[in-house]
């Protein structure tokens, strides 16, 4: 009996270990019995919550599935707008498993990669339909209290300015994608789509050069317009400055002439008053000044009659001319 007790004890321990399984937090489990999902009385897959559970050894196999919200960050894809323009949109989808039995059967044993491939196809088909019925400016626009999604640089000057005039189209696209894919995703895959967002909107590389050239031409046209307006304003300012200068100079010349005329008149009056007081002395000073100016240069030659009035003070100190 003792010899059989130990093997029986070992087999019982192995049997017990094979009958126990643990589900971690954030996970759910389903039991596969002979290739079929174990269901409850309502013909719904039996879901095992986090904790310690039991199963039949050998006959049952446990499949642990992630019950948390997962992110499907798909690759950027090309779409055609209603004006026949190509855009490349990068988006992501938040999803999680709701019907674990349906999910297990639809994805070939709970394969997450298969689930995301099928889900991406559904989202892309609906998004392609929505993009094809809208223009670029409607695609990049959202509510005016929200930010425009990240755009490629070639869309910044064109789409953003126009997008600010259109409200809600991007949000409508998001809502339509969610509505159209949630029911089919739940029915076909057993997953619930929590959220859908467009991360980036861009133009294909093959048409970027033409976009850049057009943007550059537009900016150069605006620059030429600003330069022309600047030159026009500069000419106006220059003309106004020249007019002000001419006006100031004319006023200054007028004031100078009036001042000079007044001074000449006063000087003439002073000379007249001085001359009337002693005409002979005034005549003598005038003659001395004339002598000084006449003989100031050694190269000058004067041919005059010695008996002329000019030499009257040289010939006669009294100032009378000799006969």
Along the 323 residues of the chain, how does pLDDT read in single tens digits?
Answer: 566 767 777 777 787 778 888 888 888 888 888 878 887 777 777 888 888 888 888 788 888 888 899 999 878 888 988 888 888 899 999 999 998 888 888 888 888 899 999 999 999 999 999 998 888 888 876 655 555 455 454 444 444 445 444 445 888 888 999 999 998 999 899 999 999 998 888 877 766 677 778 888 889 999 999 999 999 999 999 999 999 999 999 999 999 999 999 999 998 888 778 777 777 777 777 777 776 776 666 666 666 666 666 666 666 655 554 44
* 47 Cβ neighbours under 8 A, 6+ residues apart: 28, 29, 30, 100
Residue 157 belongs to what H/E stretch? none
Q: Would strands 20-23 and 51-54 be described as parallel, antiparallel, or unpaired? A: antiparallel
pLDDT computed for residue 200 by the predictor: 86
Using a cut of 0.85, tell me whether the model's pTM lies above it. no
Residue 49, classified by CB atoms within 10 Å of its CB into exposed (0-12), middle (13-18) or buried (19+), is: exposed
In 3D space, the residue among 16, 166, 194, 214 whose CA is nearest the CA of residue 98 turns out to be: 194
DSSP bridge partners of 60: 33
pLDDT computed for residue 45 by the predictor: 79
* 165 Cβ neighbours under 8 A, 6+ residues apart: 137, 141
Q: Which two tokens stand for residue 92?
A: 């992501």
| Residue-by-residue DSSP string for 72-126 | EEPPPEEEE-TTS-EEEEEEEEEEEES-HHHHHHHTTTT-HHHHHHHHHHHHHHH
pLDDT computed for residue 163 by the predictor: 45
pLDDT computed for residue 252 by the predictor: 94
Residue 116, classified by CB atoms within 10 Å of its CB into exposed (0-12), middle (13-18) or buried (19+), is: buried
């Amino acid at each position: 009996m003792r010899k059989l007790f130990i093997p029986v004890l070992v087999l019982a321990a192995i049997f017990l270990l094979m009958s126990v399984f643990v589900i971690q937090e954030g996970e759910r489990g389903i039991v596969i019995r002979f290739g079929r999902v174990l269901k409850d009385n309502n013909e719904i897959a039996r879901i095992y919550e986090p904790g310690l559970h039991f199963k039949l050894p050998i006959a049952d196999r446990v499949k642990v599935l992630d019950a948390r919200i997962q992110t499907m960050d798909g690759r950027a894809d090309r779409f055609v707008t209603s004006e026949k323009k190509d855009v490349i949109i990068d988006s992501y989808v938040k999803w999680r498993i709701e019907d674990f039995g349906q999910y297990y059967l639809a994805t070939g044993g709970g394969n997450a990669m298969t689930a995301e491939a099928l889900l991406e196809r559904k989202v892309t088909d609906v998004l392609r339909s929505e993009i094809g019925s809208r223009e670029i400016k409607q695609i990049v626009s959202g509510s005016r209290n929200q930010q425009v999604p990240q755009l490629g640089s070639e869309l910044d000057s064109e789409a953003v300015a126009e997008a600010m005039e259109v409200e809600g189209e991007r949000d409508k696209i998001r809502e339509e994608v969610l509505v159209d894919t949630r029911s089919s995703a739940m029915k076909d895959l057993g997953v619930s789509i929590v959220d859908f967002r467009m991360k980036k909107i861009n133009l294909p590389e093959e048409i970027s050069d033409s976009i850049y050239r057009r943007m550059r031409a537009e900016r150069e046209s605006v620059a030429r317009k600003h330069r022309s307006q600047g030159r026009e304003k500069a000419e106006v300012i220059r003309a106004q400055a020249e007019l002000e200068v001419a006006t100031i100079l004319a006023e200054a010349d007028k004031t100078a002439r009036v001042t000079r005329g007044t001074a000449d008149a006063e000087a003439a009056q002073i000379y007249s008053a001085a001359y009337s007081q002693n005409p002979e002395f005034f005549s003598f000073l005038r003659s001395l000044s004339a002598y000084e100016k006449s003989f100031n240069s050694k190269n000058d030659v004067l041919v005059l009659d010695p008996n002329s009035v000019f030499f009257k003070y040289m010939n006669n100190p009294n100032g009378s001319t000799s006969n």
